[in-house]
Amino acid sequence: MRSFLSLSFLIALLAGEGSYAAPLAGLTGRSISTDMFSTLQLMEQYAAASYCSPNYDETPNTEVTCPAGNCPLVQAASTNTLVEFENSLKTDVTGFVAVDHTNSITVVSFRGSASIKNWIANLDMTQITTDICKGCKVHQGFWDSWTEARDGVLNAIKSAAASNPSYKIVVVGHSLGGAISALAAAELRKSGCDVALYTFGSPRVGNGAFSDFVSSQSGGNYRITHYNDIVPRVPTLVQGYVHITPEYYINKPNFKAVAVSDIKEYKTNTIFGGNNAWVVTDILAHTWYFNSIAQCYINSLLPKRDLDVEVVERF
């Protein structure tokens, strides 16, 4: 509990915000279809799977699984990991590349923050120039994380495309994993791949030039936020960071089942709708995207006798 509260306090300091206040009145957003809702559920579960050690322990050619029980849609599919990675030298970038024969997709999934190295990367907020696009500047720590995984991911995608050329490539991630996913998708698209990007509770990744470039790329961008989640509010606009668009906002309190009517699409960044409309924020909202997205990681922090999913969700 102490480590969790420390994390909350740190993020709150970075954002300069508090908690427990209603959002500003404003835009209502556009409703989504039931098909999109189903897709977002599946992609959230692939992001959740990146927190589960069987999927990143460097033993590929295994099914994607979630011991915490929070990725049933993924486990019902015919899956196979191609590459699993963890504990990189500088940033501990962690995740996997897998093929899903049931849904005809190749999935790249990056884990969110779960180690000291991850947090060092999070806090390295200096903007650096990249060759992604003219004028593109991105978060140093997020960029370092992506570049440590890049060669392995690109090789796996190349192999998967050769074996299953009709499969759609999707890149997913929660929190830090969402930020890395945005960089991965941008570069994969530049290399000629058709890539859909799904992020959950992602922080801002780069400057306006980067945001405009990624937002205009083909393949599909789905930046999902939940309620008054604090993480999408950092790094701040004052620091020169701008979100990619569009945003898909889940307007449902923590630990409640999400319905299709709870999600609205916002085509542009606005302070009058979506996550940005909240005056103050809450770290617990960051842990709940359709379900307890980081449950495998949370379970790893608890005493063995407490490894009950329902108990943890109430936490």
Active site residues: 175, 229, 286
d(CA 247, CA 198): 10
Name the token pair of 200: 């959950």
Of 269, 201, 256, 252, whose CA–CA distance to 229 is shortest? 201
Radius of gyration over every alpha carbon of the chain, rounded to an integer in angstroms: 18
Distance CA 165, CA 120 (A): 38
Quote the CA–CA distance of 120 and 117 in Å, as a whole number.
5
Asked if 89 and 64 count as a contact pair (C-beta separation under 8 A), the reply is no
DSSP state of 24: P
* Nearest CA among 114, 120, 123 for reference residue 55: 114
DSSP symbols for 52-112: SGGGTSS--SS----TTS--HHHHTS-EEEEEEE---TTT---EEEEEETTTTEEEEEE--
Phi/psi at 159 (5° precision) = -65, -45
Spatial separation of the C-alpha atoms in residues 293 and 202, rounded to whole Å:
13
